[in-house]
């Protein structure tokens, strides 16, 4: 297969990936019920779509006709880091930083934009000249710096996320759990992609951008398929994370356990925090003003249940009440209003807690009321 055919196939895949990225972004916008995780994923897919669009314009040389768009993807690329980090931390039940710190993490993207501003507002002929010579001379140093910085920012954020998620894990636990191995394998794959892009910029190859764009397209397609096909994937990872925390040293010393008990009961029975679809251990710990490790240990040692067991118990009880009060209500509506994020999760948890599927339980209630 000759180089032209190779480029054509890669370009077509980039177009396909661009369409998927923007389509997935729209899909997350119209997802119901909505939460911070959906918002983060919608923005991340949108940012990826912009990056892939720029990759397509570069690799097909179409950028020559739109020089004003050249390298406008750099601040966007730098923004991917904090958004991906926050999404993964929320998805796996870890507590991200406050919104203020999250916004501060966007400053590197702003710095790149300010660095690039003179270039962005430069005349078109100057950019066209750079584009025409890029294959022979590579990027000028003043442009290489922000490009390499954007790649480095994403690399650092991903490394930080993996460190925060898996620090303190025993190797035997990671090795035996396919979900944790999947996450680590995907992360290693991203590191390889970023390294490939970094090296490509250093040697001045536009093929590198084409390859990085294609690999990112494959990665995000896989991420979406994983998320849609296995809705309980991250919940199971959270469970493993919580179980691993039991092996850490006790951190309950000096805490008022009776006060924690009362506050926890108020949160679940009065405020009904379990109705929050993206409720995490970190959010609950923040409400109680203790750490996630302390809350996890308290639940396991003092209540005899982990976070997900307690959460599922309240959600199933809420769903049972709704079914009993109105057997004709749509079960999917009951699932969402009880805090479940999907029908499959609702069915699985409900059957595990009651021994019946929601439909079977509703039929049971109908038979009772008809007598």
Q: For 239-287, give the DSSP string.
A: HHHHHHHTTSPP--TT--HHHHHHHHHIIIIIS-GGG-TT--HHHHHHH
Mean pLDDT of the 229-236 span: 67
Which one has a higher pLDDT value, 171 or 189? 189
Mean pLDDT of 349-370: 87
Res. 78: pLDDT tops 70 = yes
Domain ranges for the chain: 3-237, 251-370
* Residue 68 DSSP class: G
Which tokens go with 120?
């962005």
Tell me the C-alpha distance between 139 and 119, whole Å: 13
- Top pLDDT among 140 and 350 is at 350
Residues 339-350 have a mean pLDDT of: 89
pLDDT in tens, 184-227: 777 787 788 778 777 777 776 555 555 565 666 666 667 667 66
Segment 299-333, tens digit of pLDDT: 887 888 889 899 999 999 999 999 999 888 899 99
How confident is the model at residue 221, as a pLDDT?
Answer: 65
The 10s digit of each residue's pLDDT in 113-140 is 999 999 888 887 878 777 777 666 667 8
* pLDDT for residue 298: 87
Lowest model confidence (mean pLDDT) among 94-103, 165-174, 352-361? 165-174
| pTM, two decimal places | 0.59
Is 36 within 8 Å of 95 (Cβ atoms)? Answer: no
Q: Do 289 and 220 contact (CB within 8 A), yes or no?
A: no
- pLDDT, position 196: 77
Q: Would you say residue 2 has pLDDT above 60?
A: no
pLDDT of residue 344 exceeding 80? yes
- Give the least confident one: 71-75, 147-151, 189-193: 189-193
Lowest mean pLDDT among 54-58, 131-135, 366-370: 131-135
Mean pLDDT of the 50-76 span: 84
pLDDT tens, residue by residue, 247-289:
555 566 667 888 999 999 999 999 999 998 888 898 899 999 8
Q: What is the pLDDT of residue 224?
A: 64
Percent of the chain topping pLDDT 70: 78
Give the Cα separation of 71 and 127 in Å (integer). Answer: 10
Q: What is the pLDDT of residue 5?
A: 44
Question: How far does CA 26 lie from the centroid of its chain?
Answer: 16
Q: CA separation (Å) from 168 to 81, 93, 110, 216, 241?
A: 23, 16, 34, 29, 10
Residue 6: its pLDDT value, please?
44
For residue range 10-24, what is the model confidence (pLDDT) as tens digits?
677 778 888 888 888
CATH class of 251-370: mainly alpha
pLDDT of residue 310: 92
């Amino acid at each position: 297969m000759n180089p032209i055919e190779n480029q054509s196939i890669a370009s077509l895949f980039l177009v396909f990936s661009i369409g998927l990225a923007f389509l997935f972004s729209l899909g997350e916008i119209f997802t119901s019920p909505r939460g911070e995780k959906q918002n983060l994923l919608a923005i991340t897919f949108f940012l990826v779509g912009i990056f892939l669009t720029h990759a397509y314009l570069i690799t097909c040389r179409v950028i020559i006709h739109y020089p004003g768009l050249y390298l406008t993807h750099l601040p966007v690329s730098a923004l991917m880091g904090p958004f991906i980090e926050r999404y993964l931390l929320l998805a796996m039940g870890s507590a991200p930083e406050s919104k203020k710190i999250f916004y501060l993490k966007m400053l590197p993207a702003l710095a790149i934009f300010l660095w690039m501003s003179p270039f962005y507002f430069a005349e078109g002929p100057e950019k066209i000249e750079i584009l025409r010579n890029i294959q022979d001379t590579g990027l000028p140093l003043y442009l290489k710096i922000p490009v390499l910085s954007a790649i480095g920012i994403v690399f650092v954020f991903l490394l930080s996320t993996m460190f925060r998620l898996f620090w303190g894990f025993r190797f035997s636990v990671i090795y035996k759990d396919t979900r944790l191995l999947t996450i680590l394998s995907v992360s290693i794959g991203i590191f390889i992609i970023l390294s490939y892009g970094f090296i490509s910029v250093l040697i001045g190859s536009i093929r590198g951008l084409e390859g990085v764009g294609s690999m990112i397209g494959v990665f995000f397609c896989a991420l979406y398929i994983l998320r849609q096909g296995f809705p309980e994937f991250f919940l199971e990872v959270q469970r493993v994370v919580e179980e691993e925390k039991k092996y850490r040293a006790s951190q309950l010393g000096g805490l008022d356990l009776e006060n924690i008990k009362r506050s926890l009961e108020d949160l679940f029975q009065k405020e009904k925090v379990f109705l929050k679809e993206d409720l995490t251990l970190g959010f609950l710990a923040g409400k109680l003003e203790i750490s996630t490790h302390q809350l996890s240990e308290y639940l396991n040692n003092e209540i005899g249940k982990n976070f997900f067991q307690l959460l599922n118990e309240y959600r199933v009880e809420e769903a049972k009440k709704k079914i009993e009060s109105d057997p004709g209500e749509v079960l999917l509506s009951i699932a969402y209003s009880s805090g479940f994020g999907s029908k499959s999760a609702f069915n699985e948890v409900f059957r595990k807690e009651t021994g019946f599927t929601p439909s079977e339980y509703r039929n049971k209630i109908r038979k009772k009321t008809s007598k």
